[in-house]
Amino acid sequence: MNSDELYVSVDVETSGSIPGEFSLLSIGACLIVEPATSIYLELQPDSPKHDPESLAVSGLNLEKLAREGLAPQEAMQRFDQWLKSSCPTGQKVIFVGLNAPFDWSFVNYYFHKYLGANPFGFTAIDMKAYFMGATGCAWKGTKSSQMTATLKPLSAPNHNALDDARFQAELFSLMLADRGKR
């Protein structure tokens, strides 16, 4: 790994497919090099629009989040503060996600909407694309089940954003350790 970059595994659960119309409901993030250094946030929905299938996958309840979740601005402030406190001076935080375009789009939208800037900038590392490039597999071979069969992580995803961020951190660490061996 590059010493001036800090890889952060991020996973989100949402109420639907696109930011701006659907809500970011939970964020889980951890350092790739130290998954115990982590944050988990549940947010109040900022839109009533939802896809029942998305909610069924995450198991999150919109009414409960409206009562108990953090206001989106507070959640994004906490996430930003966690990134700052977890990132040594001089390092740049790098967003790493499994299907990063989806997760990053919500995180980017919410950072810009509620704080005016995204500390990750405008890029992310997509683990699916990284795996495809590293192994030479076809796109259909980038499913997490395929990655798991190849890399043999100890953990498994379960649609809790923090648990999934830690699973992704383990997978990405295994990918990095496997560099140049294929």
pLDDT in tens, 64-84: 999 999 999 999 999 999 999
pLDDT of residue 92: 93
CATH of residue 14: 3.30.420.10
Residue percentage of the chain with pLDDT more than 90:
90
In a domain, 9, yes or no: yes
Backbone angles phi, psi at 40, to 5 degrees: -135, 130
pLDDT in tens, 116-126: 999 999 999 99
Buried/exposed code over 98-125 (b: 16+ C-beta within 10 A; e: otherwise): bbbebbbbbbbebbeebeeebbbeeebb
The residue-averaged pLDDT of 99-113 equals: 98
Write out the DSSP string of 96-152. Answer: EETTHHHHHHHHHHHHHHHHSS-TTTT--EEHHHHHHHHH---GGGGSHHHHHHHH-
In a domain, 53, yes or no: yes
In a domain, 115, yes or no: yes
Backbone angles phi, psi at 29, to 5 degrees: -145, 150
Which of 32, 26, 45, 27 is closest to 6 using CA atoms? 32
Residue 88 DSSP code = -
pLDDT of residue 1: 55
User: Does the pLDDT value for residue 89 go beyond 80?
Assistant: no
Instruction: Give the total residue count for the chain.
Output: 182
Indicate the residue type of 27.
Answer: I
**Res. 88 pLDDT band, cuts 50 70 90:** confident
| Number of neighbouring beta carbons within 10 Å of residue 84 | 11
In a domain, 182, yes or no: no
The domain total for the chain is 1
**Res. 3 pLDDT band, cuts 50 70 90:** confident
User: Does the pLDDT value for residue 181 go beyond 70?
Assistant: no
The residue-averaged pLDDT of 35-49 equals: 97
User: Does the pLDDT value for residue 19 go beyond 70?
Assistant: yes
Q: Which position among 78, 113, 143, 159 bears the catalytic label?
A: 159
Indicate the residue type of 150.
Answer: T
pLDDT in tens, 133-177: 999 999 999 999 999 999 999 998 999 999 999 999 999 999 999
Residues 19 and 110 sit within 8 Å (Cβ to Cβ): yes
In a domain, 96, yes or no: yes
Identify the domain containing residue 85 by its residue range: 5-177
User: Residue 91: CB partners within 8 Å, gap ≥ 6?
Assistant: 3, 4, 5, 6
Whole-model pTM: value is: 0.95
- The two counts, helices (H) then strands (E), for the chain are 7, 5
Whether 159 is a known active-site residue: answer: yes
